[in-house]
Amino acid sequence: MMTMKIIILLILLLAPIPMAIACPGVPSLGSAAACLKACGTKYAYDLCINTMQRSGMDPCPSHTVVATVYAVVAARVAEASYEDTMLALNTQLQQNGSLSGDERDAYRGCLGDYTAAESSIERAAERMASSCDLGGLGNEFRGGMMSLEGCRDRLLSPWIYPSPMYPLVMGNRDKVLVAYLLAKLLGI
């Protein structure tokens, strides 16, 4: 019994923080194959391949890993780009003297939307990386995407001249879409 505990302790200490665990029914595949399987359109496929390249995933078809790795990586990529957008929104609010009152309101509202979207994607990434019980994860993704759409709609207000923030929000929407499509490979 004691030896068992020591062995478990050793495993815990020696193992690197697992980026993803193996769950029943989750396929192992190459990164391009994962993108092809996950994405039903050329647009999403290209975005997916781009995400894989940017996060340094091995493009070699013979390099296969469990699909969870790709879904977690894509979720982390989306999360990092949310942070960039929040920083850009804050910078605009603090430094751009030519923002109208409507723009200020929209940007502040967007910061709230992004806070919600970020906690969704963060929870999703953590659950995928640490548990095989992914019930409700689809709702987590969809909720996060709806938060981003809330921000997009604020920026489409008729009183706002095309905002420099708009392309950032659309880019974030693409990134979370890729993460969601890859997460579907886990059976969510």
Ligand X SMILES: *[C@@H]1O[C@H](CO)[C@@H](O)[C@H](O)[C@H]1NC(C)=O
Question: Given the complex with ligand X, which of 3 and 94 has the nearer CB atom?
Answer: 94
CB of 35 to ligand X, least distance (A): 34
**Residue 116 CB neighbours (<10 A):** 15
**CA end-to-end distance (rounded Å), the chain:** 37
Q: Using the minimum distance from each CB to ligand X, give the nearer residue, 103 or 118.
A: 103
Q: Measured from the CB of residue 108, what is the shortest distance to ligand X in angstroms?
A: 14
3-state helix, strand, coil in the chain (%, to 5): 70, 0, 25
Q: Which residues bind ligand X (CB under 6 A)?
A: 96, 98-99, 103, 163-164
The residue number with the shortest CB distance to ligand X is: 96
Q: How far is the CB of 98 from ligand X (least distance, A)?
A: 5
Rg value, the chain, Cα:
19
Give, to the nearest 10 degrees, the angle between helix 42-54 and helix 31-38: 150
Sign of the alpha-carbon dihedral angle for 124, 128, 133, 135: positive
Minimum CB separation of residue 97 from ligand X in Å reads 8
By beta-carbon proximity to ligand X, the closer residue of 41 and 98 is: 98
Taking the least distance from each CB to ligand X, the nearer of 120 and 163 is 163
**Residue with smaller CB distance to ligand X, 99 or 132:** 99
Q: What residue type is assigned to position 141 of the chain?
A: F
Around 145, how many Cα atoms within 13 Å sit in the side-chain half-sphere? 16
Task: Report how far residue 16's alpha carbon sits from residue 7's, in angstroms, rounded to the nearest whole number.
Answer: 15
To ligand X, the closest distance from the beta carbon of 90 in angstroms equals 12
Residue type for 91, please? Answer: T
